[in-house]
Amino acid sequence: MKKYDVIIIGGGPSGIVTGVTAKKKHPEKSFLMIKKEEKGLVPCGIPYIFHDLESIDQNQMSPKPFVDAGGEVLVDTVVKVSSEDKFLVTESGKELAYEKLVFATGSSPLVPKFIEGYDLDGVEYIKKSYNYINALKAKADKAKNIVVIGAGFIGVELSEQLAKYPDKNVSLIEAEPHCLYRAFSVDFAEKADEIVKDAGVHLYTGQKAEKIIGENGKVKGVLLSNDMTIEADLVICSIGYVPNCNLAKEAGIELDDRGTIRVDNYLRTSVKDVYAVGDCSQTIGFITGRTDNIMLASTATAEARVLGNNLFCIKLLRHFAGTLSVFSTEINSTVFASAGAIEQTALDANVQFVIGKAQDVDRHPGKLPGASKLIVKLIVSPENGEIIGGEILGGKSVGEMINTVSLAIQKAVTVYELISFQVGTHPLLTTAPTKYLLIKAAENAIENIKNNKENC
């Protein structure tokens, strides 16, 4: 039986980054990556295949950096892992032994079996599969009335892209009161609703898809909880993802209460020499220390770097143990981003907080071309001023500005420190130095801390 020092199951972002990082550190070891399809996709780029990108091939993600570093790739599907005897079996019948095994098996779209009609022809998903998405793009090109169920990031981005075609009628259904409700507080989420509507999407929030209606086995419409029916020749469900953990479970590897593979800070599972990384592995919330279900490529690759560096022994301590959700998206030219706690999640977890808020434009003077309105909100512990979350809305610069907030949270920076934080500003790039918004929001939080009455 052929044996590799390391076998990685999965060719997504966490598989690739684990492979590249570890192989570069250990060029003498043999590495194999087993992936299901020849071609891979940039996961977060998938919505843009539907309009902004010229073709699906512009959104390919390949394990080339891993191969360049000397790793081997096998296109096949692993059907069984024997974690006791340290080998695996593939669909094509190959048996391969390993010294170390990495599950980077990712996640799959949640299929809403609780909605009648979910299995009709014309009900589709955003699967992270080149072949599947290629086929779905062809279906979407032909469809006139498209209903997207679920207004999280993927649902919102997909709807916005599809609504750019003047001949398509795009509806978006969300059971929560607003779009992007998991990532933004109500004031920001309300703005997201407006912008989604401005983009030409018919938005139905606070509405469940009660039933998917069909005729001759083919989808015809969606019935909402308010009894309204929306006509549809294509329904795309984007109501979340479930981790791909069956293979690991069958191999006797322990899962956690959320059904993801239990791991320690160094991505080590309950079985020696078996690791799990990315969507299929356990996530611990940054603030609460409880299990969480954040599935982001950015988070996955952060874990993958930790794993890649520490696969054979712990060399680089993991400095940020919990997973901080850092989200960003652009809808119809407005960027929304958040990091860490938002008001809802802070309330849910019984975390005391005050808000600091500031707004302005992202140029100075504001009359310079390309200026966008910018709003910054910080979620702050009133006890010591520590920043535990942030939300930003504005132009393109928000995509990187949120990473300053993210670093501030990860380094336990307080609003009192931010007062003397030295930033770079420029007329064409940022708000004026006199009112740089992270600092103004910190000042506002300090005022609010003073006026805050203890609530727990």
| 35 touches its own copies (CB under 8 A) | no
Among 196, 398, 441, 449, binds its own copies (CB under 8 A): 398
Segment near its own copies (CB under 8 A), from 51-59, 70-78, 90-98, 164-172? Answer: 51-59
| 408 touches its own copies (CB under 8 A) | yes
Query: 4 vs 66, which CB is nearer to its own copies?
Result: 66
| 406 touches its own copies (CB under 8 A) | yes
Q: What is the DSSP string of 48-87?
A: HHTTTSS-GGGGEE--HHHHHTT-EEEE--EEEEETTTTE
| 284 touches its own copies (CB under 8 A) | no
Using CA atoms, how far apart are residues 171 and 148, in angstroms rounded to an integer?
6
Query: 171 vs 301, which CB is nearer to its own copies?
Result: 301
| 78 touches its own copies (CB under 8 A) | no
Query: 229 vs 384, which CB is nearer to its own copies?
Result: 384
| 2 touches its own copies (CB under 8 A) | no
Among 135, 228, 316, 349, binds its own copies (CB under 8 A): 316
| Binding to its own copies, residues 86-115 (CB under 8 A) | none
| 253 touches its own copies (CB under 8 A) | no
Helices (H), 209-269: 246-250
Using CA atoms, how far apart are residues 37 and 74, in angstroms rounded to an integer?
9
Query: 40 vs 221, which CB is nearer to its own copies?
Result: 40
| 238 touches its own copies (CB under 8 A) | no
Specify the 3-state DSSP secondary structure of 17: helix
DSSP 323: B
| 309 touches its own copies (CB under 8 A) | yes
Segment near its own copies (CB under 8 A), from 113-121, 141-149, 184-192, 399-407? Answer: 399-407
| 220 touches its own copies (CB under 8 A) | no
Using CA atoms, how far apart are residues 25 and 29, in angstroms rounded to an integer?
9
Helices (H), 385-436: 398-410, 415-418
Q: Which helix (H) or strand (E) is 367 found in, with range?
A: none
Q: Taking a C-beta distance cutoff of 8 angstroms, is the pair 291, 257 a contact?
A: yes
Q: Taking a C-beta distance cutoff of 8 angstroms, is the pair 363, 427 a contact?
A: yes
